[in-house]
Amino acid sequence: MDDNFDFDLFVIGGGSGGVRAARMAAQRGARVGLAEVAAMGGTCVNLGCIPKKLYSYAAHFAESFEESHGFGWVGEAPRLDWDTLKANRAREIARLNGIYGQLLKSAGVQVINGWGTLVDAHTVDVAGQRYRAKNILLATGGKPSIPEFPGSDLVVSSNEMFDLAPFPRRLLVVGGGYIACEFASIFNGLGSEVTQLYRGHQVLRGFDEEVRGFIAGEMAKTGVTLRLNTDVASIERTADGLQVQLLDGSHVTVDTVLYATGRVPLVAGLGLEAAGVKQGKAGAIEVDADYRTSVPSIYAVGDVTARVQLTPVALAEAMVVVDALFGPPAGKNPRGISYDFIPTAVFTHPNIGTVGYTQAEAAEKFGKITVYRSDFKALKHTLSGSTERTLMKLIVEDATDRVVGLHMVGADAGEIVQGFAVAMKAGATKAVFDSTIGIHPTMAEEFVTMREPVKA
């Protein structure tokens, strides 16, 4: 312990990465302070993954009630009470906020409420009070980015979607990324008339091309109107709602316009320039392989670095920093991270689960590849009356027989893909997949029963 400092580690940001780093460092005996200006838990707990998944569950009930008739259930479906859903979600999020606060308190972390600003390489100012720290960790996350255009003050971001009042009968979602697609699916399921607008040729840029087309088709079947290759020109409030003028000359009138056109690092007011911390594109904090910034005593993890913007990645990065600064747990080696084969899910209706390379990426990286695909109606829908189909796809590197890409569009895709991610991280080959016995009848077994490659 260095008496020249108030803390061994000072964390700015109480989201997933910041809380994990603070807790674990304190448990190793370090003196830790953490500054947070908003509710504990960050985007994921308050305005992202958790409330979004709860609303996704809520949105699935409408189709489940409808599908139940094919299984012999009769009677009218219940109706959604939007205010009850909002209140129940808020109560659960408040419970999680309390748990995060208690975890920090139990670990011995000093939590300071307020905005943390860097003064220099070892000093943080929070509401006029200055704290000296041997090391500082920046984990402030990101925020939605909304462009300026005529009427941009009339739109909302994903932050406001969970507490809209009243419920939007007509919703326009602008954007083609996973956040836009998820909210389009969720509010369509909850009963909104949803139009999704994207300036590109297809939604979910960066995902496998076949997955992109497949989910667009499935979302359209559920009732989402997808309009591609166009953008918003202007928005004005009228007696009938918000009139949105599009670049192609057409217009659409809605009650709410959600802009989900990307997120940027939350760096304004952090004092990065004063401390000499270098920034890159969109203000992202630049870090080396050990998450150290251009200032040796200052580190950064999670969305504020704009690398892989996923909660579990921020948690893993936080552990690398803690191990580097305070040593790993007894008998363990310091942790590192490989960014290969990070699984991810998109909670559209149906879900997407993916791990590894897209077909195009694999062809470019590995040269010769073999692709296996299956497109089918799930057993459930043989009676449900739904036309929903499932897509499953494997990409194999010919030279090694290793499975380098695995993609799924279908119910519970995230749950299914998580297990396969372990196998792929371990280097599983197609032969290993083929020799694995499937669980019957499940959709997941399709990944270990695909035998016929797609003809090139």
To the query of whether residue 440 is one of the catalytic residues in this protein, the response is: yes
| pLDDT one-digit tens code per residue, 25-39 | 999 999 999 999 999
Are 368 and 188 contacting, i.e. CB atoms less than 8 angstroms apart? Answer: no
For 229, residues 6+ apart whose C-beta sits below 8 A from its C-beta are: 198, 199, 200, 201
| pLDDT one-digit tens code per residue, 220-243 | 999 999 999 999 999 999 999 999
Average pLDDT, the chain: 97
Indicate whether 270 pLDDT > 70. Answer: yes
Same domain as 408, residue 371: yes
Same domain as 280, residue 364: no
Domain that holds residue 418: 344-448
For position 287, what pLDDT does the model report? 97
For position 456, what pLDDT does the model report? 63
**Average pLDDT for residues 41-67, to the nearest whole number?**
97
Same domain as 133, residue 16: yes
| Structure-model confidence comparison of residues 455 and 359, the more confident one | 359
Minimal CA–CA distance to 270: which of 109, 81, 439, 136?
Answer: 136
Are 25 and 322 contacting, i.e. CB atoms less than 8 angstroms apart? Answer: yes
Same domain as 274, residue 127: yes
| pLDDT one-digit tens code per residue, 292-336 | 999 999 999 999 999 999 999 999 999 999 999 999 888 888 888
Same domain as 138, residue 37: yes
Q: Look at residue 456 and tell me if it is in a domain.
A: no
Handedness of CA 167, 169, 172, 176 (dihedral sign): positive
| pLDDT one-digit tens code per residue, 169-204 | 999 999 999 999 999 999 999 999 999 999 999 999
Same domain as 102, residue 46: yes
Q: Look at residue 192 and tell me if it is in a domain.
A: yes
Q: CA distances (Å), 450 to each of 185, 330, 434, 445, in order?
A: 29, 44, 8, 9
Are 358 and 207 contacting, i.e. CB atoms less than 8 angstroms apart? Answer: yes
Indicate whether 264 pLDDT > 80. Answer: yes
Give me the catalytic one of 60, 122, 201, 440: 440
Q: CA distances (Å), 137 to each of 283, 304, 318, 447, in order?
A: 17, 11, 9, 41
> In CATH, what number is assigned to the domain containing residue 215?
3.50.50.60
Q: Dihedral of the CA atoms 59, 420, 180, 216 (nearest 10)?
A: -90
Same domain as 431, residue 382: yes
Same domain as 191, residue 83: no
DSSP string, 308-332: S--HHHHHHHHHHHHHHHH-PSTT-
Q: Which two tokens stand for residue 413?
A: 């895709």
What is the β-pairing status of strands 403-409 and 390-397?
Answer: antiparallel
Q: Where are the alpha helices (H) located in 385-436, listed in sequence order?
A: 413-425, 430-435
Report residue 410: phi and psi, to 5°.
Answer: 170, 175
d(Cα 141, Cα 211) in Å, to the nearest integer? Answer: 29
Indicate whether 15 pLDDT > 70. Answer: yes
